[in-house]
């Protein structure tokens, strides 16, 4: 696929397996068509329980390279007696391509540290999966002008750990900037804040070892109403979407709006 956008649907714990599987069965053809027409790669991240069924559905269609499946978390450990955990190797075996790590809900609920996020990232890279590493500051950190400092610390721990990987292999990574105050609030930061923050994140990752390709995502109240504003931020290459991704109509509107902007681009270039 030529250069494309990424749309990651984080369904969190909102649907039951039957609902997740039905969503994909019902909308599969239309989703793949919309993804093709808008040159978007869609990654669906359902609960762990549905991954296997959905992955089979997706892989049975060999012409589909636009729709893939991801998980919402993984273990820091490779294998062993870790009750309740799921390893990167298991996720790779059942057909995942991407895995979200360091989501603020996980950092908050389970006191997940930057080092644990880095260990999960390593596990995923070793097993050929693309980590979607979430970073973001809280409202009070933003108010006290600490956004960049917090993000730098989150990024530095991951980079330091990546130094331990073999430099012979080159890895893919997604970084999702999800400010905590934007998640589920209906509000997104200003374009000026986003331009500045993404510039900062990109500078911090400029010398990341062993990373071939970094895709920069924004997450936090992304929906079809916010997209026209978000699309103005040139550094954003895709979105990590929560609530809006539970609605097929919202997904359709977002993907359709990219088709419109894509055709605008082409006609401008042809003039």
Measured from the Cβ of residue 232, the count of other Cβ atoms closer than 10 Å reads 11
Hunting for tokens 């870790």 — which residue is that? 82
User: Per rule CB under 6 A, is residue 246 in the interface with ligand 13P?
Assistant: no
Kindly list the catalytic residues: 103, 178
Binding to ligand 13P in span 74-133, by CB under 6 A: 103
Among 7, 10, 57, 123, binds ligand 13P (CB under 6 A): 10
Q: Based on CB atoms, which residue is closest to ligand 13P, 59 or 247?
A: 247
Please give the full DSSP string across the chain, using - where no structure is assigned: --S-EEEEEE-TT-S-HHHHHHHHHHHHHHHHHHHHHHTEEEEEE--HHHHHHHHHHHHT-TT--SEEEEES---SSSSSS-TT---HHHHHHTT--EEEES-HHHHHHT---HHHHHHHHHHHHHTT-EEEEEE---HHHHHTT-HHHHHHHHHHHHHHHHTTS-TTS-EEEEEEE--TTTTTTS----HHHHHHHHHHHHHHTTT-TTEEEEEEEEESS--TTTHHHHTT-TT--EEEESGGGG-HHHHHHHHHHHHHHHHHHHHHHH-
Among 235, 243, 253, 262, binds ligand 13P (CB under 6 A): 243
- Cβ proximity to ligand 13P: between 36 and 253 the closer is 253
Distance (Å, whole) CA 39 – CA 4: 5
Sign of the dihedral defined by the CA atoms of residues 25, 223, 13, 130, in that order: positive
The single residue among 20, 112, 137, 178 that binds ligand 13P, judged by CB under 6 A, is 178
Task: Give min distance, CB of 167 to ligand 13P, in A.
Answer: 31
**To the nearest whole angstrom, how small is the minimum distance from the Cβ of residue 180 to ligand 13P?**
9
Enumerate residues 202-241 that contact ligand 13P by CB under 6 A. 219-222, 240-241
Of residues 25-84, those binding ligand 13P (CB under 6 A): none
Nearest residue to ligand 13P, using CB? 242
Question: Residue 20 or residue 178: which is nearer to ligand 13P going by CB?
Answer: 178
Instruction: Rank residues 66 and 219 by Cβ distance to ligand 13P and give the closer one.
Output: 219
- Min dist CB 247 to ligand 13P, Å, is 11
Minimum distance of ligand 13P from residue 240's CB (angstroms): 5
Closest separation in Å from C-beta 221 to ligand 13P: 4
Q: Binding residues for ligand 13P, how many (CB under 6 A)?
A: 14
Nearer to ligand 13P, 131 or 242 (CB): 242
CB-nearer residue toward ligand 13P: 237 or 243? 243
Minimum gap (Å) between residue 169 Cβ and ligand 13P: 28
Apex 155 CA angle, 150 and 156, nearest 5: 100
Q: What does the binding site for ligand 13P look like in residue numbers (CB under 6 A)?
A: 10, 103, 178, 183-184, 219-222, 240-244
């Amino acid at each position: 696929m030529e250069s494309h956008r990424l749309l990651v649907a984080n369904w969190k714990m909102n649907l039951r397996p039957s609902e997740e599987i039905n969503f994909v069965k019902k909308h599969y053809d239309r989703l793949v068509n919309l993804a093709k027409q808008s040159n978007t790669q869609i990654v669906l991240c359902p609960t762990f329980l549905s991954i296997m069924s959905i992955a089979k559905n997706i892989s049975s269609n060999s012409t589909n390279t636009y729709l893939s499946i991801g998980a919402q978390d993984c273990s820091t450990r490779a294998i062993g007696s870790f009750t309740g955990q799921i390893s990167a190797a298991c996720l790779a075996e059942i057909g995942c391509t991407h895995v979200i790590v360091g989501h603020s809900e996980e950092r908050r609920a389970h006191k997940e540290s930057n080092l644990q996020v880095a260990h999960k990232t390593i596990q995923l890279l070793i097993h050929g999966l693309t980590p979607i590493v979430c970073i973001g500051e809280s409202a009070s950190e933003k108010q006290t002008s600490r956004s960049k400092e917090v993000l730098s610390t989150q990024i530095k721990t991951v980079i330091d750990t990546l130094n331990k990987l073999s430099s012979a292999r080159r890895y893919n990574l997604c970084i999702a900037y999800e400010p905590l105050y934007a998640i589920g609030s209906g509000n997104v930061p200003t374009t000026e804040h986003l331009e500045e923050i993404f510039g900062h994140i990109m500078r911090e990752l400029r010398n990341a070892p062993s990373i071939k390709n970094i895709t920069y995502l924004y997450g936090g109240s992304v929906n079809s109403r916010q997209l026209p504003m978000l699309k103005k931020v040139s550094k954003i290459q895709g979105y990590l979407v929560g609530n809006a991704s539970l609605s097929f109509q919202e997904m359709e509107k977002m993907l359709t709006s990219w088709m419109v902007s894509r055709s605008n681009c082409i006609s401008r270039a042809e003039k």
